[in-house]
Amino acid sequence: MKILIVNAGSSSLKYQLIDMADESTLAKGLVERIGMGGDGHANMKVDDQVVCDVVEPIPDHVKACHLMLGFLTDPEKGVVKDMKEIGAVGHRVLHGGSKFTESVVIDDTVLDAIAENIPLGPLHNPANLMGIKACQEVMPGTPMVAVFDTAFHQTMPPKAYMYGVPYEYYERLHVRRYGFHGTSHRFVSRHAAEFMGKKPEEVKMITCHLGNGSSLAAVAYGKCVDTSMGITPLEGMIMGTRSGVMDPAVIQYICNNDHISVDEMLNICNKKSGLLGISGLSNDMRDIEKATFVDNNPRARLAWDMLIYEITKYIGSYIAGMNGTDAIVFTGGIGENTNRLREQVIDGLSWMGIAIDHEKNAAMRPGHAEDTDLTAEGSRVKILVIPTNEEIAIARDTLELVTKL
C-alpha cells in the first residue's frame, strides 16, 4: 500500500508518499505561504531532486492539497497514476491531550476531540485540523489516521506529569505535562531495543531527541515514564529559539519592566531565546559550533556550554528517576550529527561509569548518520545513535490501523 504522510502547519504543509512494500519514499514536498496573501510556493522532490515547482496564490489548505495531489499524479513527473493508488493518509497531530494514548482512525468524534484540545495546542491543532479536513475534501473515501505527538508520553505516572500548582487547575483546565516528539521517542526507543538485541520491555533507556526543538524521554521497559517538554514544547533544555525551563517569575519581571504582555513574552521565549537569544548569532547548531570552536565567540561558547550542561543534567535526573539506565540514545539533527556534543555530554557522566568510544564517535560523518553503537569498552551504559524517522513511524501506524478496517 502507498501511504501519504501529511504534516500541516498554519501556513505550510509538508508531505511524503511512502511505498509500504519496502518503506521507500516515492516523493516528498512542501507547500508554503498558505493563506498569507501574495504568492505561495509548492514543490515536490523525487530522489531529492525538485521535479515540480509552482509559485502562485495558495489561499487555503484545500488549494494546497490540490497542488500536492496534482504533483503526485502528474502524468510526466508524478509517482502514481491515480489518486486511488494512495491507500491511506497519516496525519501528524500535535496535541492529543489526555484522550489519545495511541494513533486512531479519523472520524467525526476524533475531529471533535482534536478541536477540544485547541486550547492546549492553540498554534498547531487548528492547522492540523485544516490539513485533515482539506485532505478529506480532495480525497473523499480515503481512510485517514491521526498520529499524535503527545500519545507515547501518556504512560507517564502522575508524579512525573503533575505540576505543583493547586490540583483544581489539573481538574478544571487539564494543566499537566504532556510531552512532545512522542512519535520520534517511540520509534527510536523501539529501534534501539531491537538494535541491542532486546525487546522494548526488557530495557531502560533515555532517548535524546535533539534538533531545532529538543526533548528527552525516560523510557522504562517500553513505556515513557518522564519527558522534558511540558504542557507546551517550551519546557526542557534550551533549544534553537526556545528558552527551556526557567523560574516563571522571569516572565512577570520582564513583562512588568518592559510593559509587554504575557503573550509577547511567551513569543520571545519561543522564538527569540535559546541558542539564538544567548549567542545573538543563530539558532543553528552548526553555526554555534563553528562560532565557539573556530571563531572563539564568547556568547556562542556560553550557548554551547548551557546546552551541554542542561542535557547532561536531564540525563542525570532521568538515571536517578529510573534508578539506572541500559542505554542513552541520541537522535534528531543535532543528536545524529554533532559529534562533539555527544562526546561532551557523555564525558560529563564519567563518574557513573558511562563512556563513549571517542574514536568511533569522531569518525561519524555528519549528514550520514545510521544506527551506530558508540559504547566504549567497559561502559556501564550503551551509547547509541539511532536516526529518527517520524514519517515511517506515522506510516506504520497508519498501515496497521487501516488494514484492520
Positions marked active-site: 149
Number of residues that bind ligand ADP (CB under 6 A): 14
Binding mask 195-224 for ligand ADP (x = CB under 6 A): ----------------xxx-----------
Q: How far is the CB of 365 from ligand ADP (least distance, A)?
A: 9
Residue from 6, 65, 234, 285 that binds ligand ADP (CB under 6 A)?
Answer: 285
Q: Which residues contact 100 (CB under 8 A, 6 or more apart)?
A: 113, 146, 148, 150, 151, 154
Q: How far is the CB of 138 from ligand ADP (least distance, A)?
A: 27
> Which residue sits closest to ligand ADP, CB atoms considered?
333
Q: How far is the CB of 392 from ligand ADP (least distance, A)?
A: 15
Q: Are 99 and 113 in contact (CB under 8 A)?
A: yes
**Rounded distance, CA 181 to CA 103, Å?**
14
Instruction: Provide the terminal-to-terminal Cα distance of the chain, rounded to the nearest Å.
Output: 14
Binding mask 320-359 for ligand ADP (x = CB under 6 A): ------------xxx--xx---------------------
Instruction: Name which of 379 and 388 has its Cβ closer to ligand ADP.
Output: 388
Instruction: Name which of 91 and 204 has its Cβ closer to ligand ADP.
Output: 91
Instruction: Name which of 80 and 229 has its Cβ closer to ligand ADP.
Output: 229
Extract long-range pairs of 23-32: CB within 8 Å, 24+ residues apart.
23/392, 23/395, 25/391, 26/2, 26/79, 26/80, 27/51, 27/71, 27/72, 27/78, 27/79, 29/68, 29/71, 31/58, 31/64, 31/67, 31/68
**Rounded distance, CA 238 to CA 215, Å?**
10
- Which one of the spans 19-27, 136-144, 161-169, 281-289 is the region binding ligand ADP (CB under 6 A)? 281-289
Q: Does 367 bind ligand ADP (CB under 6 A)?
A: yes
Q: Is 348 exposed, middle or buried (0-12, 13-18, 19+ CB in 10 A)?
A: middle
Q: How far is the CB of 258 from ligand ADP (least distance, A)?
A: 29
Query: At 31, which amino acid appears?
Result: V
Q: Are 243 and 277 in contact (CB under 8 A)?
A: yes
**Rounded distance, CA 127 to CA 142, Å?**
20
> 53 - beta bridge partners?
43
Instruction: Name which of 138 and 341 has its Cβ closer to ligand ADP.
Output: 341
Q: Is 242 exposed, middle or buried (0-12, 13-18, 19+ CB in 10 A)?
A: buried
Report 237-266 residues binding ligand ADP (CB under 6 A).
240
Binding mask 118-157 for ligand ADP (x = CB under 6 A): ----------------------------------------
Interface residues with ligand ADP (CB under 6 A) are: 211-213, 240, 284-286, 332-334, 337-338, 366-367
